[in-house]
Amino acid sequence: MKGFQQTLQNKIAIKGQALHSGKIVAVELIPQPVDTGIQFCRVDLPDRPVLSATPKNVIDTTRNIALGTDQWRINTIEHLMAALHGLRVDNLLVAVEGPEIPLGDGSAHFFVQKILETGLLEQEKPRKVRKITEPVWVADGNDPRSYLIALPGDQLRLSYCFTSDHKVTGNQFAQYLITPESFLKNLAPARTIAFWRELEALRQQGLALGGNMEIAVVVGEEGYLNQLRFEDEIVRHKVLDLLGDLYLLGPLAGEIIGVRSGHKLDLELALKLEDQLE
């Protein structure tokens, strides 16, 4: 699983609509030297501030993962982070002209396509894969049915249980051993979920202002309102989000099991794991 560190062959320029603000934003993915890790930069600000993608630099987990400080932020990094994790991109600077990452098609596929078109560059140092050495777990104090467990393992395997009393979605379960091949085939194209009844409420909060009916699995009262890419696309996207959030820790080996969890618990688990990973 280790192999050598990787970055991109060349710089990539990406433009697209942001999910929550609805604005068109530009991003550059810039290759970096070994041991840099993943970094984000706000190039539209005077001092061009840079932050590493680590758990301690996350400032918001409300329906996304946002990096930043009390003065600036970059929202919705999770799908790009999932693409970098799944393709094993170790060193990269993400230069953003604004406070949010482009939405693309609502999955990681948008970023994966751009990265694979450019190609990956193998670097001269081995990857640093951190191993989970003992059980670690977090739970939602307001919902005892919602929790995340991390167990020791030699590779990265993610399991997720999506539960819902909605008659359209029902309960869904998925488990994947994470390799570039399984990621590309099973997870990268899976889009985020949107309940039609919630969309207007989100927009009144200033969220979900961008996009269209094709950038999410839209769930109506009597059925799905658009074409699914997978029968269990919802739970696959939950695994995708978890994969992206875990990359705040860098390359990881272990067994992760999530039940009804989301970005908030993902971050809590990452913060607890950070102290005990080898």
In tens, the pLDDT along 72-122 reads 999 999 999 999 999 999 999 999 999 999 989 999 999 999 999 999 999
In a shared domain, residues 33 and 86: yes
Say how many domains are in the chain.
2
Q: Provide the token pair at 193.
A: 């979920």
Query: Are both 81 and 15 inside the same structural domain?
Result: yes
Residues with catalytic annotation? 263
Q: What gap in Å lies between CA 5 and CA 52, rounded to an integer?
A: 17
CA distances from 5 to 34, 38, 115, 121, 123 (A): 7, 12, 15, 9, 5
What range defines the domain where residue 178 resides? 130-274
- 143 and 121 together in one domain: no
C-beta separation of 49 from 75 below 8 A:
no
Which residues, at least 6 apart from 117, have a Cβ–Cβ distance to it below 8 Å?
none
* Count of C-beta atoms within a 10 Å radius of residue 64: 19
Q: Is the pTM of this model over 0.85?
A: yes
Name the percent of the chain lying above pLDDT 70.
94
Are residues 22 and 89 both part of a single domain?
Answer: yes
Cβ neighbors of 215 (< 8 A, separation 6 or more) are: 19, 103, 104, 105, 106, 191, 192
Question: How does pLDDT run across 214-266, given as a tens digit for each residue?
Answer: 788 889 989 999 999 999 999 999 999 999 999 999 999 999 999 999 999 99
CATH of the domain at 65: 3.30.230.20
- In a shared domain, residues 116 and 149: no
Q: In this structure, what CATH number is given to the domain that contains residue 265?
A: 3.30.1700.10
- Residue 114 phi/psi, 5° resolution? -65, -40
